[in-house]
Structure 1
Amino acid sequence: MQRAVAPSPVYFADTAAPQPPGPPARGRVWRVLGWVSIAMSVVLVAGSLTAYGFWRRLDGQIDRENVDGKLGDNRPAKLNNAMNILVMGSDSRAGENSRYGTEAGQRSDTTILLHLSPGGEHAIGISFPRDSMVSIPSCKKPGGGSTPPQFAMINTAFSNGGPACTWKTIEALTKVRIDHFVEVDFAGFKRVVDALDGVEICVPRRIDDPKAELHLKAGRQVVHGDQALGYVRTRYVLGDGSDLDRIKRQQAFMASVVRKATDKGMLTDPGRTYSFLSAATKSIKADDRFTLSVMQKLAGGLRGMSAGKVRFVTVPVQPFPQDKNRVQFNQAQAEPLFNAIREDNAPPEPAPAPVPAQGNGARPVPPAQVKVAVYNATRAKGLGQRTAEQLTERGFQVVKVGTRKASSSARTQILYGPGAERQAARLAIAIPGHPPRAWAPGKPGYVYLLIGKDGAALRGVNKAVPKVAGEIRADQDLCGQS
């Protein structure tokens, strides 16, 4: 479904709107491993796991990497309070992974953007097919120097500059601000599956694949470490042999893991819970900003998350004309998905009582009679323009878009010039939580929106993440997903 393009705000040349006041000084794995972050986050909400010492032990087991300075300055703005975690699976053959071959270097055959909606409303894992041909930006090499921008398969980014380069690439492709990354390898995947006492799968027929060390009966069954790894690795004995078909099967596996990790028996058994979390933290690598406090905040926000609120989708793609073995994003279908992730806000609160107008007690005027100047006083690039476009869609007259010096303490304000009480009251209904106040230097009849650290979320703006063909929900029946 093609998203309608919003009309651009019209700015009037004769509106020399004065600058608003400055902010007040004070007061105001490898392919299948996307489930690791989901399952960890959900299980962490168990009430018995809040002890600080427990968290410290888990936190100390995570391998960390500093990515500061590797992501560049031209990053997307963060437009909501969602958490976006980039999950990657490494095919490194180093250490415990040597039994799977001697291939040099490492690549990421799995790239999943895990989006956790504000307030724990839902989670969605978006898979990026390994064979996708994309533009990869210049990245810093681990050993020094930089790679040039190039057009290549998406997993080349990981080879070029590790997790930071994949992070930079996905942000450039989606315009979604990523908060953290998690990387898992073969051995880590097996440890986590075993800590869950295995994961249930459904196989359409008997499988014997010596290359993948995979031997399975038909129907429902529980697989553990090596069998689970073989199941998600095999490509030619299940399905049509395509990468896209394998992704769909692996998403069904992730959904099964989420069901297992959110099972009440799991959450109420401290021993099982600790074993799982300990295995998970020993098995991942993450950015050094994914700290103990961040994990605790994330866990608290996901309290009450159930399997039915977790979905897995694949970025819509189409054949790449120059190579039948490659694909490219179907932008007409992919952009609405990316846009919904960017604009996923908490559900709107109940409509407040109308803001009383001062003076004669008249009701607020229609939006078409409100002339508003929008100023961005945050470090989020483009936030003023985006808010102006949303106001224009609601019928407001946006007369100016500008910026003010960012301040970490400034809060959003609605100000109005002489005679604009009713207009300010209308804007306060559209952007609740910011009582308007008079501003003597303001132009008569004009309203000023100064966006601070608490944002300017318009009531009712809540982009639903669209349904994607072939998506899998974690509470679906295993054998009904084929």
Structure 2
Amino acid sequence: MQRAAPSRAPSRRAHYRDVYYTDDAPRPPEPPARGRLWRVLGWVSIAMSAVLVAGSLSAYGFWRRLDGQIDREHVDDKLGANRPAKLNNSMNILMIGSDSRAGENARYGQEVGQRSDTTILLHISPGGEQALGISFPRDSMVNLPSCRRTGGGSSPPQLAMINAAFSTGGPACTWRTIESLTRIHIDHFVEVDFAGFKRVVDALNGVEICVPRRIDDPKAELHLRAGPQTVRGDQALGYVRTRYVLGDGSDLDRIKRQQAFMASVVKKATDKGMLTDPGRTFSFLSAATRSIKADDRFTLSVMQKLAGSLRGMSAGKVRFVTVPVQPYPADRNRVQFNQALAEPLFRSIREDNAPPAEPAAPAPVPAQRPSGVPPVPPVPPAQVNVAIYNATRLKGLGRRTADQLTGRGFQVVRVGTRAVPAGAPTQILYGAGAERQAARLAIALPGHPPRPWPGGRPGYVYLVIGKDGAVLSGAKRPMPQVSGEIRADRNICDRT
């Protein structure tokens, strides 16, 4: 339950961690709300991290058994010679959802060949600093490169929908296509079909979703009540695949649901109760490894290394975005990449280098004190309770700054917005008795000497982000924010 705030004239409202706050003058913050630690993103990454928690020889043997269940494919000789260079130590995994009707999938109707029902490029920054899942709309018209056909021979370069790459040459052709369009070096691929998707969801004992209205679609075998609920098996598959009974019928709208669903999968798979239950963990990992296909270089040692880098990743550092698109002039039912917006996103991934080494701590920035009074020594970040207020028009800046400060050990107790005079600079303010805490925050955010604020709560520090932003010492430039992104720490009933 939230503590009652002093009576003040409300202005705009800000939303953070599912709690709304008015955003006039900063009010006494509340105790910090700690976020769940997320270790992984995606089908294989979830499995890897859960096992590595044990870190024992028995876990290694367990890994070996699971590793043997993965169907693998050799693709190196199908990717061509003119591949993008690898410029950093990040990892890029191409995740493909196949709509094949072979084998267990025959009950979903007869289709010739197979297409990529879903295509996501999972980018994991060096050291597991952040993760970004980029969805490529299947209705995108793109230039496909020449590929080796699944049945032999080669396909010519052509203009076609992006999912035609999979039907032409399988995962290798989709891999080659995404690399040619983005100039991003891809390291591995993971493919899952309808039956595999259902096995994974059922092994989790269902995944929670939120539906805006009641759905009854006999043709799609989809029957859902309004509001939050847990779906399994065919209901889960119908929910992520349907286009016409939910939303506006577009593939872009369906992608939003798929991204929200993936966030719920990660949350469920990394639930504390599951990770401490060996039986549940084994059932999930066994279902996951029996349900995927991967390239033969995605070995046990690679998966273990990846899992280790992802341990400790917070939910706020996991995002899902869709490649920016615009209408395709020749066909209103198709789209094309908006290169002016897409290229900065692709470039940021290509150039996502490891953050620079942490610089030597500068001398404490003194608060404004009377002449002749020496500065106070700072305290450790864990002892700093800081409320953050975004006074700019850059949506999400306060939350991103909160994630960065939390990653450095600060206790972020509130995030909101505040109106300040146009052109006002970033300020570090502090209440009575918080001078040493403010000095520590000023080290992390150099160039903003802290000032006492009589209206602040005793012992608390206030960061008001103004025109000069909030650039942490040693931090690299963040990836650009894409309209409509979904963060993995969202409330499942937030509109997408």
TM-score by length of 2: 0.67
1:465 maps to 2:473: no
Q: CA deviation at 1:307?
A: 2.7
Equivalences for residues 307-456 of structure 1 within 5 A? 307-351=315-359
The aligned counterpart of 1:383 is none
Contact 1:235–1:242 under 8 Å retained in 2: yes
Q: CA deviation at 1:295?
A: 0.7
Return the match for 1:299 from 293, 307, 310: 307
- Specify the code of the residue in structure 1 equivalent to 2:167: S
Return 5+ residue gaps in structure 1 as ranges: 1-33, 354-458
Return the match for 1:186 from 194, 203, 207: 194
Contact 2:359–2:474 under 8 Å retained in 1: no
Compute the RMSD of aligned alpha carbons. Answer: 1.8
Contact 1:42–1:261 under 8 Å retained in 2: no
Q: CA deviation at 1:176?
A: 0.5
The aligned counterpart of 2:492 is 478
- Specify the code of the residue in structure 2 equivalent to 1:465: M
Contact 1:205–1:218 under 8 Å retained in 2: yes
- State how far apart, in whole Å, the 2-side matches of 1:242 and 1:66 are: 34
Note the alpha carbon deviations across 1:319-362, whole angstroms, 9 max, x for none: 00110000000001001110111111222212369xxxxxxxxx
- State how far apart, in whole Å, the 2-side matches of 1:38 and 1:232 are: 21
- Greater shift after overlay, 302-311 or 228-237? 302-311
Contact 1:41–1:302 under 8 Å retained in 2: no
Equivalences for residues 109-188 of structure 1 within 5 A? 109-188=117-196
Contact 1:472–1:481 under 8 Å retained in 2: no
The aligned counterpart of 1:199 is 207
Q: CA deviation at 1:308?
A: 2.6
Contact 2:155–2:168 under 8 Å retained in 1: yes
Partner secondary structure for residue 78 of structure 2: coil
- Specify the code of the residue in structure 2 equivalent to 1:469: S
Contact 1:239–1:245 under 8 Å retained in 2: yes
The aligned counterpart of 2:43 is 36
1:278 maps to 2:292: no
- Specify the code of the residue in structure 2 equivalent to 1:168: R
The aligned counterpart of 2:237 is 229
Return the match for 2:54 from 47, 50, 64: 47
1:268 maps to 2:282: no
Identity %: 78
- State how far apart, in whole Å, the 2-side matches of 1:41 and 1:470 are: 29
Equivalences for residues 16-95 of structure 1 within 5 A? 35-47=42-54, 51-95=59-103
1:108 maps to 2:108: no
Note the alpha carbon deviations across 1:47-104, whole angstroms, 9 max, x for none: 2676221111111000000002100110011011111000001111111001001112
- State how far apart, in whole Å, the 2-side matches of 1:78 and 1:462 are: 19
- Specify the code of the residue in structure 1 equivalent to 2:487: R
- State how far apart, in whole Å, the 2-side matches of 1:461 and 1:252 are: 29
TM-score by length of 1: 0.69
- State how far apart, in whole Å, the 2-side matches of 1:352 and 1:73 are: 43
Alignment length, in residue pairs? 345
Q: CA deviation at 1:306?
A: 3.2
- State how far apart, in whole Å, the 2-side matches of 1:349 and 1:315 are: 31
| CA pair 49-281 structure 1, distance change in 2 beyond 3 A | farther
Contact 2:42–2:266 under 8 Å retained in 1: yes
Contact 2:358–2:474 under 8 Å retained in 1: no
